[in-house]
């Protein structure tokens, strides 16, 4: 192997490691979002049904739901985007992947006896998780937008007008 090929292989392996680390971090955040969403949905259900012991025995299915969501996200290309530079149309990809995962989880939940989770927990949990996924990915835009509106409404500070230029030729 020539020195140039060796350098190229090292660069390629560094890029693969960096990409893998990026996907693992995003997947871990997504699993955390799923965990919080399902726990919130389960807590709302527990108020009416008293299912706290039931929650402890169903943690494995909730973890499976988070891993399945990450796999569907990976297959739909969500982890391949640079979200700070993606347009708002990227939300449809997140919505579609969440719908596919929800349908798969509900179908699996109806097949398995006894049911791992109440169907309402899956539906509400995935709806809450969808909101969490969008917030996590568009957090910088949300924060900048809220800060701009705060300054515009309360401090009456507006950005300076920009000079528009038309280049012909």
DSSP H helices in the chain: 3-49, 52-57, 59-75, 91-111, 119-137, 139-154
Are 45 and 120 in contact, with CB atoms under 8 Å apart? yes
**Residue 54: per-residue pLDDT:** 67
Q: What would the mean pLDDT of 134-158 be, rounded to a whole number?
A: 81
**Residue 7: per-residue pLDDT:** 83
pLDDT digits (tens, 9 = 90+) for 47-105: 666 666 666 667 888 889 999 999 999 999 888 887 777 777 888 999 999 999 999 99
Geometric angle at alpha carbon 122, from 120 and 124, rounded to 5°: 65
pLDDT digits (tens, 9 = 90+) for 92-142: 999 999 999 999 999 999 998 888 888 988 999 999 999 999 888 888 777
How many other C-beta atoms can be found within 10 angstroms of the C-beta atom of residue 87?
6
pLDDT digits (tens, 9 = 90+) for 15-36: 889 888 988 998 999 999 999 9
**Residue 11: per-residue pLDDT:** 87
**Residue 111: per-residue pLDDT:** 93
Task: Pick the most confident of 7-16, 38-47, 144-153.
Answer: 7-16
- Whole-angstrom distance, CA of residue 15 vs CA of residue 36: 32
**Residue 55: per-residue pLDDT:** 67
Are 122 and 109 in contact, with CB atoms under 8 Å apart? yes
């Amino acid at each position: 192997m020539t020195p140039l090929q060796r350098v190229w292989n090292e660069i390629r392996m560094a890029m693969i490691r960096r990409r893998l680390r990026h996907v693992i971090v995003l997947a871990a955040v997504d699993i955390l979002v799923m965990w919080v969403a399902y726990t919130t949905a389960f807590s709302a259900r527990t108020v009416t049904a008293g299912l706290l012991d039931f929650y402890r025995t169903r943690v494995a299915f909730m973890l499976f739901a988070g891993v399945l969501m990450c796999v569907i996200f990976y297959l739909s290309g969500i982890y391949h985007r640079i979200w700070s530079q993606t347009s708002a149309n990227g939300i449809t990809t997140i919505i579609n992947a969440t719908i596919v995962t929800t349908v798969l989880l509900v179908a699996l939940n109806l097949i398995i006896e006894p049911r791992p989770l109440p169907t309402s927990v899956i539906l509400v949990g995935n709806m809450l998780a969808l909101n969490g996924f969008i917030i996590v990915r568009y957090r910088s835009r949300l924060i900048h937008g809220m800060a701009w509106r705060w300054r515009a409404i309360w401090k009456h500070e507006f950005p300076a007008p920009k000079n528009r230029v038309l280049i012909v030729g």
